Each structure stands twice: as structure tokens, then as C-alpha cells.
Amino acid sequence: MFSILLISMIIMLISMVVMLLASILSKKTIVDREKSSPFECGFDPKSSSRLPFSLRFFLITIIFLIFDVEIALILPTILIINFSNIMIWAITLFTFILILLLGLYHEWNQGMLNWSN
């Protein structure tokens, strides 16, 4: 028991030393304006590279990712229909789809799916 505790303490100590060294050695000491600016064919940029983007695109992307993951969760249920109780399978799938539809209704009700204002 003592040897396990000793080994874990040594491992934690080595990890902390490595993280500390990596933190100290990775700091950039010289800040160069040319190296930190965006590269546009060797010329100075005409405008800021940090342009604001539409929040609408971000929300549509999040909605797409959520529904994409949910489709990936629904597809395997077709394969397990032969191996499970049909009643439990149907209740589970119905509940899952009901939660999806309630989420879609909430997004629609909040105006997230309206592209124009």
C-alpha cells in the first residue's frame, strides 16, 4: 500500500515539474508586430482580421449539430429492434422523438428558425 502511494506521489511530482518547465519554456519573449499580424500575400492587411460574424450562422450550426447527433443516436435503434422487447423499444423511441420535437418547437417558438428579421 505504501509503495503505491509513493509511486503515485513521484508520478505527480514529475508531472508537475514537466508542466512547469513546459510553461516556462513556451513563453514568447519577443513580440513582433509582423509575425502577429495576419499574412495577406506579403502586404499589410487592408482591414481587421477579426470581423464580426452573424450570430444567426452560429445558431443554425449549433441546431444542425444537435440534430445530426440525434440522428446518429436514432439510427442504431433500427438494428436492435429484433433483439429487444418491442414495447420497451417503442416507448423509448417515442420518448426520444417527443423530446426532439419539443426542442424543435421551442426553437421555432423562440424565433431561432426565422432567417430574416
pLDDT at 51: 65
Mean pLDDT of 6-25: 92
Lowest mean pLDDT of 35-44, 47-56, 87-96, name the range.
35-44
Strand ranges, E, within 35-99? none
Task: For residue range 44-61, list pLDDT tens digits in order.
Answer: 556 665 667 777 777 788
What DSSP designation does 42 have?
Answer: T
First to last CA, the chain: 66
* pLDDT on residue 40: 60
DSSP percent split of the chain into helix, strand, coil, nearest 5: 70, 0, 30
Whether the CB-CB separation of 38 and 45 falls below 8 Å is answered with yes
Per-residue confidence band for 108, with pLDDT thresholds at 50, 70 and 90: confident
Which residues, 6+ apart, have CB-to-CB distance to 80 below 8 Å?
A: 89
The DSSP output letter for 43 is B
What span, in angstroms and rounded, lies between the C-alpha atoms of 67 and 103? Answer: 10
